[in-house]
Structure 1
Amino acid sequence: MIAFLTCALFLCGLQKSAHCQNGLCSGSRCFALFQSTANFHAAQESCSNVSGTLLPPTSVDEEVGSVLKRAASGTFWLGGQKAPHCSSVSVTLGGKLEFQSSPCVTQLSGFVCTYAVEEPCNDVTTEAGAAATYTAPMDIALNHTFPQGTIALAGKSGARYPDSKHLCFGRTWLRAPWNCEVLRGGCEHACNVTSGSCACPPGQHLLANLITCVTSRQNGSCPAGYEPAREGGCVHADACALHEPCTGEGEECVNTRDGFECTCTDGWVEEDGVCVDMRVCEKCEHMMCVKFKGVYACACREGYRVSTRDPARCDLHCEQQDCLAECLHKHHCFCPEGYIQDMRRNNTPYCTDINECEIQQQCEHTCTNSFGSFWCSCDKGYTLFDGYKCVHSDLAVTRQSPTPAGARPAAIPPYVKTGSVLGITVFVLLALGSVFCLVKHLSNRCGSLQVSSIKRPRVDIFYLQQVSTETYKKLSWDKSELQRL
């Protein structure tokens, strides 16, 4: 339901941004001619914005040709591209069609979009003597095919106001007022989001069709389901306030022509007679919602996965080493988290997995790379903490706030007791004191040495030289004299 309502809003926006000159819904398809100047890529984007595509040249049959021939002359983009040229069709005066190949950057007169008709509706059921008129999105003509978003007005011929108003969705006609976010709930004046009913300006009230506002009667009785207003006129009889009958979860009471009706509040849908919360589906990025064990959750298209940061968002996802990058255009591409863009042959942008374990230290002990991410593990005897830290298993059990393994001080071996540590400390201090005293003693001795004690060794060295007998005797005498002195 949420996906359809969003799609309907897109169709409304398209009516404001581009004028649909002609179109037709027939069989399993719809197509529309837009006379809005654009190049090929802009035309592609405009069609894509409303879940459509450019009409392929091979699909231009007699029905399409009849619509194009009714249009003013011009050249319009079709699907098909062989860069730098793209397919187009030219409509000349007299209604002659000519297929062409134009440069893709050329601004042409418009483009032709095609849409697949999914879950169309059959004719709306009307009361006896009444008929229905149909209006498709963008005012496209209908040939017994009613696509989702088609509006049907049911009423008797010649009547001033319709009996009812309906919206096609999922092979079913929803009667107005429907969700206020889409086409103002089908109301003529305004839609009350809280009550889900149509509202009228002061001095007016709703007719029995629940969508049309008319001037209130100042005197006399009020229609069924209405009561006199204090300031005059008629207003809805507030049966919900009098009875408070809707007590189920997600239920709300809505005043009706015959009294009241219990419906599901905005964001809730009825399933098996109860209201189920679907508010999460309103925020789904890809407008996809799945039900699992009675609870709805967002889903993503192929190539994406639900974001771990936001369950309503979708992230690009790759399950292999290399994947094609997603590109809006040639120079604006995206890769999943944990991947980096790389250009391959033929200038094709790829996404290659980043090995986070090689970039920097991600884990205290062991880092294992995976596609788009990595994971940490610890050595035996340690427990993983906070995703990347490793804590000794004993500390992990006994401490509320474990200290990371890498930040712990060096442990003293278990066999070293407190007394041993004290003894070692005393021994080290005594050894340092002994070294200090020895150094001081040697320093004092060196300070008292005389010059003579330095010169004597030089004389002794001199007598080691080779000499004759006379010389030896002389030197011996000199040596005795020196000793005597």
Structure 2
Amino acid sequence: MNARSCSNMKDAAGLFVAALAVLVGILGGTEPDGGLCVDGSCFAVFRHPGDFASAQRHCEERNGHLMAAGSSGSRDVLAQLLRNSSGRFWIGLHRSTGCPNATSPLKGYEWTAEDAQGDSADWAPSFDGSCSSPRCVAVSEADRLRWVQEPCDAPVTGFLCEYHFAYSCESIAIDGEAPTYDTPLGFGGGGLHSLPPGSIAALTPSKRKFVCSESWVEAPWSCEILEGGCEHQCATNDEHEPSCSCPPGLSVNPANGITCEVDALDPCARLRCEFACLEGDDGAHACACDRGFTLAPDGRSCVDFDDCSDERQCPGDNSRCVNTVGGFRCECQGGFKLTDGSCVDRDECASAPCEHMCDNTPGSYKCSCSGGYRVDPLDANKCELHCGKKECVAECDPNDRRQCYCPDGYISDERKDHTWCVDLDECGDSYCEHGCRNTYGGYVCSCRKGFTLVNEVFCVRNEDEDEEREGSGEAATIPNAPAVTPHEVAPTRQPSAVTVGGLVAIIVCCVLVVVVVVFLSQHILNKKGKVERGAASKAADGGETHSLHGMGSEA
């Protein structure tokens, strides 16, 4: 069989191009785990867990539907698809509303496909005829391929899809050749007997290829479909006939017209060019690269060329060149946006990034703070209270003058006219190991000669000093502090300020504790006094009684 000599097959292949392109595009995505075709219908099994609705949507997106297993031969198809498979698989049978109908073969259920044929029911003995029974149906080998009711939202093992075609091709038969098939549905192999349109048959050992287009058409076919079956590249001549070509140094195998083999007579063969081999004016051949690439030092490989090395690229103001594989692109610098072909400044202040005030600058912005505040050193967009002198007026809530706030390192002082923030002298609390200098809102530690300040407060003896001490027999003492890069003066450390509310709370708590202690002490003393007075009273009464009794006896 030589389809290349049959012009009518070539014409049929030309008419088939559009339909095949659509088919290949539709059937992308999740690949099936197996399938088979029978008389223009193909069936595929997907081991992809999901509910009934997602399985139905997957089949429909690929121009098919969930399998209608109601025909006489469907049981044989199920047996082949689910051979050695565990778990349950959705089929296209469900009950949308109402209750099961025991009098009909489908028991009130319906096929999802409108053109589904056959009423050959195969329900499992466990069929539930109640109105609350599950509305969807699945099959499995464990249930002997019988129809089993299953909740539609159950994530079963997979699903079965069914596709229909106007025609199919029978398995190809050429003496001494073993075909391997690849279908546009995503499954293939060597044991298929019926193939859908667009299926490819590859023969061994000749490496010839055929495409199913009503009948088998040998490659090269239309270049629009899988490069016409060519191993390297497909092109058409002036008469729109497809033909294959090969890279420099290789030639098309005349036996099959699609594969490439080494051409010993080609002067480019020894060069082994990665992209192209060109003949110069002097008749010598050399390798060349595609646009955007340059020849590597080995003379045959191609490497990406840095197009941005040319300063003429992206000449506009505030524009920059970004090199890409095989080319480049122009984009605006940070803080600018492309408008009408030019890079213009973006007003970052429009998005209100600053806590207080915002000043837009070319390509950026700058935050500033109101009086009594400064920019937070940890976040340039935020502001923090700042005094910068020995004392300043506190920041108070306009709705509650008792709620006042002071910067770190200050303590509030309530006066007649206002609440003031007074600088704390942290050096009196012995934060520093050696020397301490108080600053407004903080303090700075320092070390004696021969020591280095570590972690802002500790002083560690220098290594050269340690060596001298070891030579003299004097032991060196180093505080237990993590090692960091030494520096002479550490950043200011600011302890948390005590607010007016905090002081009031502390005073109230202390007063309450004193009152409670006094009350308990008084209560205990009162109780003890009562006990002592009661005992004395009893003793006195007993004595008087004794005395009376004695006087009576004497009388």
TM-score (normalizing by structure 2): 0.34
Q: Which has the higher contact order (CA 8 A, sep 6+)?
A: 2
TM-score (normalizing by structure 1): 0.39
More helix by percentage: 1
